[in-house]
Amino acid sequence: MILYIFIGVCLLIWLVEFLFRIPKISNLSNKYVLITGCDSGFGNELAIQLDGKGIHVIASCLTEKARNELGSSLSQRSSAILMNVADHGSVQEALNKVREIIPKSEGLWGLVNNAGIGGYGGAMEWWSRDEYKRVLDVNLFGLIDVTKVFTPMLKQGRGRIVNVASICGRVVIPEAGYCISKFGVECFSDEIRVQLKAFGISVCIIEPGFFRTSLTDGFFAPVRAKWAELSPETRQEFGGQEVLESRIARVSKSLDSLPSRDTGKVVNSMEHALTAKYPKKRYSVGYDAKLYFIPLSYMPSVVTDFLFRL
């Protein structure tokens, strides 16, 4: 009897929250949203999807080629601009461009910090300080810089910040730089969510599980290149070529089976964070995130250490 009551209460809570999250904000056609990292992947898909919903999208890309290709896919209400989030001068130039696009009477409704790069597989000793810094400059410090620069416009629009973290910001997958940066994104987001609430700004975190994107494709090329640079003594210390190929084969098998190709789940979560009247604070996206990594994040460290040694 107690079990049935417990299940009923859980279902009731789930239903109430589900209904609570359905209402959308009004006047979407008057909203301006800036998205970083729109060259490909989630950012590219989100820009096209929001543009199709009538929102004024300002999609930033790293390369001229990507900007031109995306710009041709957007309507006249939206724009594609250049921005390198790791370069403060480029971020300032993007700010000036956004100010030209958005009417002075309007503020910025949404900032989606999506730009990111992958880390490096292999042992910590293999990778230099500069290689760690390269990942952190884009994934963490770039995100912080963009947020700081555009916060005054967000205050004017009493808008929303959507930061794309990762399930790797909750559970560490051995990889140089990436998880460190995503743990930092989680921490920074929690910090500013409290600080900016007084200005009417909401902060949401997107935590995708493993999805097939440019970050998962070509994962092993840098590992093999770095392995070739190591001294024979170092390669032998880590088990030699046979051990490397064995580990690559095991990880490759996981990357072939684990990542979902339905990237629309992540994009829809981003859209909900921007358009829902009552958005969630965190969106854990994907069955692997919800059923494996989130529960795993609450496990004792000895459990996660054992699983990642397998």
The CA-atom distances, in angstroms, between 108 and each of 89, 185, 296, 304 are 20, 21, 37, 41
Q: What is the pLDDT along the chain (310 residues), one digit of tens a residue?
A: 777 777 777 777 767 776 767 778 888 889 999 999 999 999 999 999 999 999 999 999 999 999 999 999 999 999 999 999 999 999 999 999 999 999 988 899 999 999 999 887 777 888 889 999 999 999 999 999 999 999 999 999 999 999 999 988 888 877 778 899 999 999 999 999 999 999 999 999 999 988 776 666 667 777 787 778 888 888 888 888 877 777 777 776 666 666 677 888 999 999 999 999 999 999 999 888 888 888 888 888 888 888 776 5
Order of strands across the sheet that contains 282-285: 79-82, 56-61, 32-35, 110-113, 160-164, 202-208, 282-285
Determine the pLDDT at residue 254: 64
Alpha helices in 259-300 (DSSP H): 264-275, 287-288, 294-297
Q: Are 43 and 36 in contact (CB under 8 A)?
A: yes
φ/ψ region of 87 (left if φ > 0, alpha if ψ in -120 to 50, else beta) reads: beta
DSSP state of 171: S
Burial of 116 (0-12, 13-18, 19+ CB in 10 A): buried
Is 178 known to be catalytic? yes
Q: Specify whether the CB–CB gap between 54 and 29 falls below 8 A.
A: yes
Could you tell me if 176 and 127 are in contact, meaning their C-beta atoms sit under 8 angstroms apart?
yes
Give the C-alpha separation, 104 to 110, whole Å: 16
User: What local confidence, expressed as pLDDT, does residue 225 receive?
Assistant: 79
Of these residues, 178, 283, 287, 292, which one is catalytic?
A: 178
Alpha-carbon distance of 49 to 4, in angstroms, equals: 42
- Predicted model pTM: 0.89
Whether the CB-CB separation of 210 and 286 falls below 8 Å is answered with yes
Report the SS3 class of residue 52. Answer: helix
Residue 118: count of CB within 10 angstroms of its CB: 19
Question: How high is the pLDDT of residue 255?
Answer: 63
CB neighbourhood size of 136 (10 A):
17
